[in-house]
Amino acid sequence: MHHAHIDKFAYQDSPVHRLDSRVKFIVVLVFTAMVVSLPRTSVSILACYAVGPFALLVWAKIPLRFAFKQILLVSPFVLVLALSCPLYDRTPATVAFGPFSWRLTLGWMRCFTILGKFTVTMSALIALVSTTRFNDLLAGLQRLGLPKVLVIQLGFLYRYIFVLIDRAHHILQARQGRKLRSLGFKAELRIAAAMLGSLFVRSIDTAEHINIAMQARAFDGKWRTLSRLQIRAADYIFALAAALFMAGLYLLVKPVLQ
């Protein structure tokens, strides 16, 4: 079985894919901080911010439909938060974008800002994850100072989440194959608990086998990896272009901040 949704496009080849993971990560981090720190009244400026991540997605040949689908997938929580804003803040306000202006309430403005910030930051994150292999991202994070133990944990999580999903799927299939009628809530709950228990025991079993596999290859408790990351001229050019773009955005938003 293949589970490719998380890193579906990360193995493609494009100039963005070839950029160093550390450079991409830092750019996305700084960009996200800039978006998050935008005042709630600068909703219209968000449109300019969106240019960056979407340009990256297009340049990397990541289908925008995929990006929007991913954004929608994680949007329910933010949607509830954003749509509750107009209910408790009805102060009148005006939004202007060039020659156009709209009258609405501060609650709606906050709602649009939350949704806009969410969309822009998520698209930046999707651009990062879709153009960077997870292991390169981990190697980059390690080089940037993330504790090694956390990098190892994330590496194992990424490696075995697919195995776990497969196993859970097989257990559910086995259950479905023998489920001829509903047994009632209590009995179903008991069966679900047994299935979870089986998954847990098998996970422990796998962990023991991995431990053997590691020791069999001379593992002595010290984690050693070989980093193949290398910053090239293209990375410097990208970092410079991103810095100029973000400086431009800052100049755009500066009057609002004052």
Partner 1 sequence: MAKAIEIENFSYAYPDGTVALDKINLSLEHGRKLALIGPNGAGKSTLLLAMAGFVKGTGRVVVDGLEINRKNLKKIRARLCSCLENPDDQLFMPTLFDDIAFGPLNMGLTPEEVKARVGDALQTVGLTEMVDKAPHHLSAGQKRAAAIATVLSMAPKIITLDEPDGSLDPRNRNNLLKLLASLPQTLIIATCNMNFAAALADRAVLVDKGRIIADGDAKEIMSDSKLMTEHGLEVPGTIR
In angstroms, the CA 54 to CA 64 distance is 8
Single out the residue of 128, 151, 150, 153 nearest to residue 20, CA to CA.
128
Out of 206, 229, 245, 246, the residue judged to bind partner 1 by CB under 8 A:
206
The least distance separating partner 1 from the CB of residue 223, rounded to whole angstroms, comes to 9
The yes or no reply on residue 218 touching partner 1 (CB under 8 A) is yes
Q: Dihedrals φ, ψ of 100, to 5°? A: -95, 145
- Quick check: 96 binds partner 1 (CB under 8 A)? no
Q: Rule CB under 8 A: is residue 11 a binding residue for partner 1?
A: yes
* Closest to partner 1 by CB, 11 or 88: 11
For 109-120, the DSSP string reads HHHHHHHHHHHH
Bridging pattern class, strands 100-105 and 92-97: antiparallel
Amino acid 187 reads A
Shortest Cβ 219–partner 1 spacing (Å): 6
Alpha carbons 199 and 205: distance in angstroms, whole number: 10
65, 178, 181, 224: which one binds partner 1 (CB under 8 A): 224
Q: Which position among 213, 243, 244, 247 is part of the footprint of partner 1 (CB under 8 A)? A: 213
13 counts as binding partner 1 under rule CB under 8 A: no
Alpha carbon distances (Å) from 162 to 6, 128, 159, 166, 206? 10, 21, 7, 6, 13
Q: Is 212 in the site for partner 1 (CB under 8 A)?
A: yes
Using CB under 8 A, list all residues that contact partner 1: 2-4, 7, 11, 133-135, 138, 155-156, 158-160, 162-163, 206, 209-210, 212-220, 222, 224-226, 228
